[in-house]
Protein backbone atom coordinates (compact mmCIF):
# COMPACT_ATOMS: atom_id res chain seq x y z
CA UNK A 1 0.00 0.00 0.00
CA UNK A 2 1.34 3.43 -0.98
CA UNK A 3 0.35 7.04 -0.43
CA UNK A 4 0.22 8.83 -3.78
CA UNK A 5 -0.71 12.21 -5.18
CA UNK A 6 -3.37 12.82 -7.82
CA UNK A 7 -4.84 15.91 -9.46
CA UNK A 8 -7.60 15.76 -6.82
CA UNK A 9 -5.33 15.28 -3.81
CA UNK A 10 -3.88 12.33 -1.90
CA UNK A 11 -4.98 8.77 -2.69
CA UNK A 12 -4.14 5.31 -1.37
CA UNK A 13 -2.60 3.05 -4.01
CA UNK A 14 -2.41 -0.73 -3.70
CA UNK A 15 0.02 -2.53 -5.98
CA UNK A 16 0.14 -6.31 -6.29
CA UNK A 17 1.73 -9.19 -8.14
CA UNK A 18 -1.40 -11.37 -8.03
CA UNK A 19 -3.86 -10.03 -10.59
CA UNK A 20 -6.62 -12.36 -9.33
CA UNK A 21 -6.30 -11.00 -5.80
CA UNK A 22 -6.31 -7.38 -6.97
CA UNK A 23 -9.32 -8.05 -9.21
CA UNK A 24 -11.17 -9.63 -6.30
CA UNK A 25 -10.54 -6.62 -4.06
CA UNK A 26 -11.61 -4.24 -6.82
CA UNK A 27 -14.86 -6.17 -7.23
CA UNK A 28 -15.49 -5.92 -3.49
CA UNK A 29 -14.94 -2.16 -3.50
CA UNK A 30 -17.26 -1.81 -6.49
CA UNK A 31 -19.90 -3.81 -4.67
CA UNK A 32 -19.50 -1.68 -1.54
CA UNK A 33 -20.36 1.40 -3.57
CA UNK A 34 -23.70 -0.17 -4.51
CA UNK A 35 -24.73 -1.08 -0.95
CA UNK A 36 -27.52 1.15 0.30
CA UNK A 37 -26.82 3.25 3.35
CA UNK A 38 -23.55 4.69 4.56
CA UNK A 39 -20.25 4.13 2.75
CA UNK A 40 -18.78 0.85 3.99
CA UNK A 41 -15.24 0.97 2.64
CA UNK A 42 -12.89 3.35 0.85
CA UNK A 43 -14.21 4.70 -2.44
CA UNK A 44 -12.62 3.09 -5.51
CA UNK A 45 -11.07 5.75 -7.78
CA UNK A 46 -9.17 3.98 -10.56
CA UNK A 47 -7.85 0.60 -11.74
CA UNK A 48 -4.89 0.11 -14.07
CA UNK A 49 -1.56 -1.65 -14.69
CA UNK A 50 1.98 -0.38 -14.29
CA UNK A 51 4.59 -1.56 -16.80
CA UNK A 52 8.16 -1.96 -15.51
CA UNK A 53 11.29 -3.76 -16.76
CA UNK A 54 10.46 -6.50 -14.25
CA UNK A 55 6.97 -7.00 -15.64
CA UNK A 56 3.41 -5.66 -15.60
CA UNK A 57 1.69 -5.27 -12.25
CA UNK A 58 -1.96 -4.45 -11.50
CA UNK A 59 -2.91 -1.69 -9.08
CA UNK A 60 -5.90 0.30 -7.94
CA UNK A 61 -6.29 3.72 -6.35
CA UNK A 62 -8.84 4.41 -3.64
CA UNK A 63 -9.89 7.13 -1.26
CA UNK A 64 -7.19 8.13 1.23
CA UNK A 65 -8.57 8.07 4.76
CA UNK A 66 -6.87 10.16 7.41
CA UNK A 67 -7.62 9.37 11.02
CA UNK A 68 -6.58 7.47 14.14
CA UNK A 69 -6.15 3.79 14.86
CA UNK A 70 -8.94 2.48 17.09
CA UNK A 71 -6.74 1.70 20.11
CA UNK A 72 -4.94 5.06 19.88
CA UNK A 73 -8.27 6.88 19.61
CA UNK A 74 -9.65 5.24 22.76
CA UNK A 75 -6.46 5.91 24.70
CA UNK A 76 -6.62 9.60 23.75
CA UNK A 77 -10.38 10.20 23.94
CA UNK A 78 -11.46 7.81 26.68
CA UNK A 79 -12.81 4.26 27.03
CA UNK A 80 -16.42 5.53 27.05
CA UNK A 81 -16.18 5.71 23.24
CA UNK A 82 -15.71 1.93 22.94
CA UNK A 83 -19.40 1.01 23.07
CA UNK A 84 -20.44 3.86 20.77
CA UNK A 85 -17.90 2.91 18.10
CA UNK A 86 -18.82 -0.78 18.32
CA UNK A 87 -22.50 0.10 17.79
CA UNK A 88 -21.46 1.92 14.64
CA UNK A 89 -19.26 -0.97 13.47
CA UNK A 90 -22.09 -3.46 14.01
CA UNK A 91 -24.44 -1.30 11.97
CA UNK A 92 -21.97 -1.34 9.07
CA UNK A 93 -21.51 -5.11 9.41
CA UNK A 94 -25.27 -5.60 9.32
CA UNK A 95 -25.42 -3.84 5.94
CA UNK A 96 -22.42 -5.82 4.67
CA UNK A 97 -23.95 -9.16 5.72
CA UNK A 98 -27.29 -8.22 4.15
CA UNK A 99 -25.39 -7.71 0.88
CA UNK A 100 -24.05 -11.27 1.11
CA UNK A 101 -20.50 -10.62 2.34
CA UNK A 102 -18.42 -11.25 5.46
CA UNK A 103 -15.47 -8.96 6.24
CA UNK A 104 -13.28 -11.86 7.36
CA UNK A 105 -10.02 -10.36 8.57
CA UNK A 106 -11.66 -7.88 10.96
CA UNK A 107 -9.19 -6.33 13.42
CA UNK A 108 -8.13 -2.87 14.70
CA UNK A 109 -5.42 -2.64 12.01
CA UNK A 110 -8.10 -2.74 9.33
CA UNK A 111 -10.29 0.06 10.66
CA UNK A 112 -9.70 3.77 11.14
CA UNK A 113 -11.51 6.46 13.12
CA UNK A 114 -12.11 9.53 10.97
CA UNK A 115 -13.97 12.75 11.71
CA UNK A 116 -15.26 14.65 13.56
CA UNK A 117 -17.86 13.41 13.98
CA UNK A 118 -16.11 10.18 14.91
CA UNK A 119 -16.80 7.37 12.45
CA UNK A 120 -15.29 3.95 11.84
CA UNK A 121 -14.12 3.31 8.28
CA UNK A 122 -12.72 0.08 6.87
CA UNK A 123 -9.27 0.07 5.28
CA UNK A 124 -8.25 -3.31 3.86
CA UNK A 125 -10.95 -5.39 2.16
CA UNK A 126 -8.58 -8.18 1.15
CA UNK A 127 -10.23 -10.69 3.49
CA UNK A 128 -13.82 -9.94 2.46
CA UNK A 129 -15.54 -13.20 1.49
CA UNK A 130 -18.92 -14.21 0.09
CA UNK A 131 -21.16 -15.81 2.73
CA UNK A 132 -20.93 -19.60 2.63
CA UNK A 133 -17.34 -19.82 1.44
CA UNK A 134 -14.19 -20.37 3.50
CA UNK A 135 -12.52 -17.35 5.08
CA UNK A 136 -9.51 -16.52 2.90
CA UNK A 137 -7.59 -14.20 5.25
CA UNK A 138 -7.55 -14.08 9.03
CA UNK A 139 -5.44 -13.07 12.03
CA UNK A 140 -5.20 -15.66 14.80
CA UNK A 141 -6.25 -13.51 17.78
CA UNK A 142 -9.53 -12.55 16.03
CA UNK A 143 -10.14 -15.97 14.45
CA UNK A 144 -12.60 -18.24 16.23
CA UNK A 145 -10.92 -21.26 14.65
CA UNK A 146 -7.70 -20.41 16.50
CA UNK A 147 -9.61 -20.37 19.80
CA UNK A 148 -11.45 -23.60 18.99
CA UNK A 149 -14.79 -21.81 19.13
CA UNK A 150 -16.07 -22.34 15.61
CA UNK A 151 -15.22 -22.94 11.98
CA UNK A 152 -13.71 -20.64 9.37
CA UNK A 153 -16.88 -20.64 7.32
CA UNK A 154 -17.84 -17.15 6.14
CA UNK A 155 -21.00 -16.30 8.08
CA UNK A 156 -22.13 -13.30 10.17
CA UNK A 157 -21.18 -14.95 13.47
CA UNK A 158 -17.55 -15.12 12.30
CA UNK A 159 -17.37 -11.32 12.08
CA UNK A 160 -19.23 -10.93 15.39
CA UNK A 161 -16.65 -13.09 17.15
CA UNK A 162 -13.99 -10.76 15.73
CA UNK A 163 -15.87 -7.71 17.07
CA UNK A 164 -15.77 -9.25 20.56
CA UNK A 165 -12.03 -9.86 20.22
CA UNK A 166 -11.49 -6.29 18.97
CA UNK A 167 -13.04 -5.09 22.22
CA UNK A 168 -10.65 -7.31 24.16
CA UNK A 169 -7.73 -6.03 22.09
CA UNK A 170 -8.56 -2.42 23.02
CA UNK A 171 -8.12 -3.36 26.68
CA UNK A 172 -5.06 -5.54 25.95
CA UNK A 173 -3.12 -3.66 23.21
CA UNK A 174 -0.35 -6.30 23.24
CA UNK A 175 -2.96 -9.10 23.02
CA UNK A 176 -2.40 -12.50 24.64
CA UNK A 177 -2.24 -16.16 23.65
CA UNK A 178 -4.83 -18.82 24.42
CA UNK A 179 -4.29 -20.85 27.57
CA UNK A 180 -5.84 -24.04 28.85
CA UNK A 181 -8.64 -26.20 27.51
CA UNK A 182 -11.52 -23.82 28.32
CA UNK A 183 -11.22 -20.78 26.04
CA UNK A 184 -14.56 -19.21 27.04
CA UNK A 185 -13.67 -19.32 30.73
CA UNK A 186 -10.20 -17.95 30.00
CA UNK A 187 -11.56 -15.07 27.92
CA UNK A 188 -14.18 -14.28 30.56
CA UNK A 189 -11.39 -13.99 33.13
CA UNK A 190 -9.60 -11.50 30.86
CA UNK A 191 -12.81 -9.47 30.55
CA UNK A 192 -13.39 -9.39 34.31
CA UNK A 193 -9.91 -7.99 34.90
CA UNK A 194 -10.59 -4.83 32.86
CA UNK A 195 -13.08 -2.23 34.08
CA UNK A 196 -13.59 -0.86 30.55
CA UNK A 197 -14.90 -4.28 29.41
CA UNK A 198 -17.13 -5.25 32.35
CA UNK A 199 -20.19 -3.23 31.23
CA UNK A 200 -20.15 -5.20 27.95
CA UNK A 201 -19.28 -8.59 29.44
CA UNK A 202 -22.55 -10.33 28.53
CA UNK A 203 -22.47 -9.04 24.95
CA UNK A 204 -18.85 -10.08 24.44
CA UNK A 205 -19.41 -13.57 25.87
CA UNK A 206 -22.52 -14.11 23.73
CA UNK A 207 -20.54 -13.17 20.61
CA UNK A 208 -17.64 -15.42 21.59
CA UNK A 209 -20.02 -18.34 22.08
CA UNK A 210 -21.68 -17.73 18.70
CA UNK A 211 -25.10 -16.99 20.18
CA UNK A 212 -25.75 -14.04 17.86
CA UNK A 213 -27.01 -14.92 14.39
CA UNK A 214 -26.98 -11.35 13.09
CA UNK A 215 -25.09 -8.11 13.65
CA UNK A 216 -28.38 -6.33 14.39
CA UNK A 217 -28.99 -8.61 17.40
CA UNK A 218 -25.57 -7.85 18.85
CA UNK A 219 -26.03 -4.16 18.08
CA UNK A 220 -29.31 -4.05 20.04
CA UNK A 221 -27.63 -5.58 23.09
CA UNK A 222 -24.69 -3.19 22.73
CA UNK A 223 -27.08 -0.22 22.68
CA UNK A 224 -28.64 -1.48 25.92
CA UNK A 225 -25.20 -1.96 27.50
CA UNK A 226 -24.14 1.58 26.57
CA UNK A 227 -27.43 2.97 27.89
CA UNK A 228 -27.06 1.11 31.20
CA UNK A 229 -23.45 2.25 31.49
CA UNK A 230 -24.35 5.92 30.91
CA UNK A 231 -27.08 5.91 33.58
CA UNK A 232 -25.02 4.12 36.20
CA UNK A 233 -24.48 6.16 39.36
CA UNK A 234 -21.51 5.13 41.52
CA UNK A 235 -21.99 4.97 45.25
CA UNK A 236 -20.30 7.78 47.17
CA UNK A 237 -17.09 6.79 48.90
CA UNK A 238 -17.04 7.57 52.61
CA UNK A 239 -14.05 9.60 53.65
CA UNK A 240 -12.90 9.90 57.25
CA UNK A 241 -12.20 13.50 58.08
CA UNK A 242 -10.78 14.88 61.33
CA UNK A 243 -13.38 16.22 63.74
CA UNK A 244 -13.73 19.97 64.03
CA UNK A 245 -14.97 21.90 67.01
CA UNK A 246 -17.40 24.10 65.10
CA UNK A 247 -20.12 22.25 63.24
CA UNK A 248 -20.95 23.67 59.85
CA UNK A 249 -24.10 21.94 58.59
CA UNK A 250 -24.44 24.43 55.76
CA UNK A 251 -21.01 23.55 54.36
CA UNK A 252 -21.80 19.81 54.47
CA UNK A 253 -24.99 20.38 52.57
CA UNK A 254 -23.10 22.39 50.01
CA UNK A 255 -20.57 19.56 49.58
CA UNK A 256 -23.35 17.00 49.23
CA UNK A 257 -25.11 19.20 46.70
CA UNK A 258 -21.88 19.68 44.78
CA UNK A 259 -21.37 15.91 44.63
CA UNK A 260 -24.78 15.27 43.09
CA UNK A 261 -24.29 18.13 40.65
CA UNK A 262 -21.07 16.47 39.45
CA UNK A 263 -22.83 13.12 39.05
CA UNK A 264 -25.70 14.78 37.19
CA UNK A 265 -23.36 16.60 34.83
CA UNK A 266 -21.34 13.45 34.13
CA UNK A 267 -24.47 11.39 33.44
CA UNK A 268 -25.93 14.13 31.25
CA UNK A 269 -22.70 14.35 29.26
CA UNK A 270 -22.62 10.61 28.55
CA UNK A 271 -26.30 10.57 27.62
CA UNK A 272 -25.76 13.52 25.30
CA UNK A 273 -22.94 11.70 23.51
CA UNK A 274 -25.16 8.64 23.11
CA UNK A 275 -28.17 10.63 21.84
CA UNK A 276 -26.01 12.53 19.35
CA UNK A 277 -24.60 9.25 18.10
CA UNK A 278 -28.06 7.72 17.59
CA UNK A 279 -29.20 10.89 15.84
CA UNK A 280 -26.21 10.63 13.51
CA UNK A 281 -27.12 7.03 12.69
CA UNK A 282 -30.59 8.12 11.63
CA UNK A 283 -29.30 10.80 9.24
Catalytic residues: 105
How far is it, in rounded angstroms, from Cα 131 to Cα 142?
A: 18
Q: Which of 111, 102, 172 is nearest to 143 (CA)?
A: 102
Task: Report d(CA 205, CA 63) in Å as an integer.
Answer: 35
List Cα–Cα distances, 275 to 167, 230, 281, in angstroms: 22, 11, 10
Q: Which residues contact 162 (CB under 8 A, 6 or more apart)?
A: 103, 106, 107, 142, 143, 144
DSSP per-residue string spanning 114-126 = ETTTTEEEE---T
**At what angle are helices 70-77 and 81-98 packed, to 10 degrees?**
150
- Rounded Cα distance, 267 and 135, in Å: 42
Q: How many helices (H) and strands (E) does the chain have?
A: 8, 8
CA 120 to chain centre: 7
Phi, psi of 142 (to 5 degrees): -100, 5
How open is the CA angle 260-227-110, to the nearest 5 degrees?
A: 125
Amino acid sequence: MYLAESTNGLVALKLGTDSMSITSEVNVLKHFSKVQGQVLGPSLLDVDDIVTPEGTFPFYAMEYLKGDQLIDYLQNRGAEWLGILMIQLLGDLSRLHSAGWVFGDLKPDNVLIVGPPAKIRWLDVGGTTLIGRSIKEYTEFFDRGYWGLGSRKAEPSYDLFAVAMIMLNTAYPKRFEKQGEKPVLFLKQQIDQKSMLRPYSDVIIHAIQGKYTSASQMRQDMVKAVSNKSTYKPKPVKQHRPKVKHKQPKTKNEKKSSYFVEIFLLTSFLLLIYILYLFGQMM
